[in-house]
Chain A
Amino acid sequence: MRMSKLRADIQALLYLLPFLVIYILFTIWPMIKGVNMTFYKWTLIRKMKYIGWDNYSRMIHDKDMWAAIGHSVIFVVLTTPTMVILAIVLAMIANRKSRLQRLYRSVFFLPSVLSVAVASFLGLFVFQPYTGLVNSVLHLVNLLPENTEIFWLSETNLSWIAIALITLWWTVGFNFILYLSAMQEIPDEIYEAARLDGANDRQIFFRITFPYLNPITKTITMLQIIASFKVFMQIYIITGGGPLDKTRPIIQLIYQTGFKKNDLGYAATMSYMLFAILLVLSIFQYWLNNRKGANA
């Protein structure tokens, strides 16, 4: 018995080996190499100089880095809850038995198929002053007096709103699809029984639908937090991190440090900082899910 177990393990390992080799070679090894980089002054042309913990102490005192992390956190706070709540609402709309069901599904999901460049440029067209859709509409309905403009993309707070709205429109479809499929897993009998017992819509949602969606909600929230933390491209295209670097997220700072300032060692150090943050969040999520041992 014991022998065959061992054999089975060896067999499994053999099957896994090709993948394992590639995984170690292209994922684990670069990660170790990356940690190594953080101890060097390392340029694109690979002029390297060992500088010990300098990159780390520089990072601790780097106001720009903390600001950039702050901006990424702002983005996470702005988008995660809205992204989850809106996805549920949209999924509920699309899950209703209605003739428009198919239309809803495609309309809600459609923006997700756009590339980040397309989505961002649409965002620019919508929010830019003088000719943008939002200001034009506001002018049209006289909410905005003539000869005044709202500068969505050049005021810090407004540009956050613009960026968050564009991202929301563009990416909510993915969460929506996850919720929709989860909702369809909930057996109809439960709803029927609830109706027979005289439950109203609100009760049905909070007592049945939402609890059933609990596991998927946790998953979506975590995925969303990680995705939002990694925000870069749409901000880069829409505001370039401005005004005055006030919307520059940590990934953009890493990119600029590595490839524009030619300082790969320090960029790597900041990458591991971001990595540490995401790791802590992931572990926290893992712990949260396993606390009662029930939910997957």
Chain B
Amino acid sequence: MKKRLSLAATSLLSISLLLTACGGNNAGNANNGSANSGNNGAAATDNANSGNAAANAGGGNAAATDSEEKVNLNFWTLFDGGDGANMQTLVDEFNKSHPNIQVKNTKLVWGEYYTKLITAVGNGNGPDVGISHTSRLPDLIDQGVVTDVDDVAEVAGVDWSTYNQNLLNATIVDGKHYAAPIDTHPFIMFYNKKLLKDAGLLGEDGKPVLEQSADGFMKFLETLKAKLPAKVTPFALSNSNDDPYRLWWSLYSQQGGNDIVSDDLKSAAVDKEKGAKAADYIQKLYTGGYIKKNDPDFYKNFQSGTAAIMMTGVWATGTWESTKGLEFGAMPIPKIFDQEATWGDSHTIILPVTKDNDPAKRKAAIIFADWVATNGQIWAKAGHIPSKPSVLENADYKAMPYRSDYASVASTVKFSKPSTKNWQIRDNASFKILNEVWANKLEPTAAMDKLQDGVQKVLNE
């Protein structure tokens, strides 16, 4: 009897020991969620009365409400580093200029942001305002995390025509606006002026001498390789995941390739011929020795002045600017195939579903979102391209170097279709298969067959 009891006890104990590993993550999230919900809850009760009163008073007299009642907004962001500081500046400025709307900025860790957002909203403890990438928006909509903003935008008098339509259109799902885009952060090309000069490839205007074609770009790299010391990498790029994928997507889109998902978002629609051509071109950059094999840190490579060109998102501009002694330039990625196109995504401001969907708060939130977009010159410090063309004319923006060299890209960004599976397709199909191509372990044509199957598998799940 005793023995059996102790056996039961030991096995129970070991069971719980074994399970703790899997439970760890959950517990962490739950803790954070409840911590946040505490704040939120307090804020909510503070405002419950005033909010409703404002809503009632509001009615037809919408414009007056924001000068009558004070609204507190809880804002969750995923920015760190320079982005985080710039967003905080924006929030502070907004609070100063809008005494009746106070925004509290809560910075979450980028890697956990979406998980926390979804969980918190599911528990009814989500924020009043949040950030979403355009590519992630459909998934959030599908899960019922995000509300459409057409009603409040109308009340608050948001003029959608002041936005860059390419960016705006990517946030419209089923004819409804779901977010206010504040930027686009496309994939562009950076170059080291000193090294290009050494290789005789820097023009009088400080821009690379480069013929915009498949052969032209290859020749450009060939010259860099031949003329620069062996230690210099002609083209700094990672060997896996994001950045080579972005380049592939850009080159695929430059040929007019369809999205890899069909229009009805139900099946994979890889344009194999164009995809293979793009993959083949990039594979040659690796096998031809223009890109350093398995470069452990291609950002550092470019930053320390040992790489002639590099490609990544515009967010690097801020980093290069603050690097002493780095003479660099920025430009759209070359037009290697038929038309200009590049990879890009946008940060947008969203209104998550809340317990009461308080109209006063929602209105204040969209006013805030629109204000952030209008004051994009602060946000552009990190390198992002502002979402409102009017900001591009702003003196502060114009005074910042580099940005105007690539601002035109905003209209040629090729966004992915509003599939709810965008991020899964990227992580579980595109990255995985293309990485094999870059490692020269898979033929580009075979890779496209695999990609088609992989995307389909994700869509089926």
Contact = CB atoms under 8 A, between A and B. Distances in A.
Interface of A: 23, 27-28, 30-31, 34, 43-47, 124, 128-132, 147, 149, 151, 153-154, 226, 230, 232, 242-245, 251, 254-255, 258-263, 271, 274-275, 278-279, 282-283, 286
Interface stretch (B88-96, B116-124, B396-404, B409-417): B116-124
Contacts of A124: 296
A243 B435 CA distance: 8
B271 interface: no
29 contacts: A27-B12, A27-B16, A28-B12, A34-B19, A44-B118, A44-B122, A44-B143, A45-B121, A47-B143, A47-B144, A128-B296, A129-B293, A130-B292, A130-B295, A147-B230, A154-B294, A226-B18, A230-B18, A230-B21, A245-B432, A260-B115, A260-B423, A263-B461, A274-B22, A275-B15, A279-B11, A279-B14, A282-B18, A283-B11
A45 B118 contact: yes
Contacts of A275: 15, 18-19, 22
Interface in B263-309: 292-296
A244 B437 CA distance: 11
A274 to B, nearest CB: 7
A130 B300 CA distance: 13
B81 interface: no
Contacts of B12: 27-28
B23 interface: yes
Interface string B405-432: 0000000000000000001100110001
B145 interface: yes
Contacts of A28: 12
A45 B144 contact: yes
B124 to A, nearest CB: 10
B9 to A, nearest CB: 10
B122 A149 contact: no
Using C-beta atoms within 8 Å of the partner chain, give the interface range for chain B: 35 or more
B18 A278 contact: yes
Contacts of B423: 260
A43 B143 contact: yes
Contacts of B432: 244-245
A206 B423 CA distance: 57
B85 interface: no
Most B Cβ at <10 Å: residue of A132, A262, A279: A262
A279 B18 contact: yes
Nearest to B240: A242
B25 interface: yes
Contacts of B294: 129, 149, 151, 153-154
Given A151-B294, A244-B436, A254 B143 contact: no
B427 A260 contact: yes
A283 B12 CA distance: 12
Contacts of B292: 130
Contacts of B22: 251, 254, 271, 274-275
Nearest to A222: B14
A242 B15 contact: no
B456 interface: no
A278 B239 CA distance: 37
A164 B232 CA distance: 33
A289 to B, nearest CB: 11
A7 B342 CA distance: 79
Given A47-B143, A261-B428, 18 more contacts: A30-B23, A47-B144, A129-B294, A129-B296, A130-B295, A149-B293, A230-B21, A242-B435, A243-B439, A259-B25, A259-B115, A260-B424, A260-B427, A262-B118, A263-B461, A271-B22, A274-B22, A279-B15
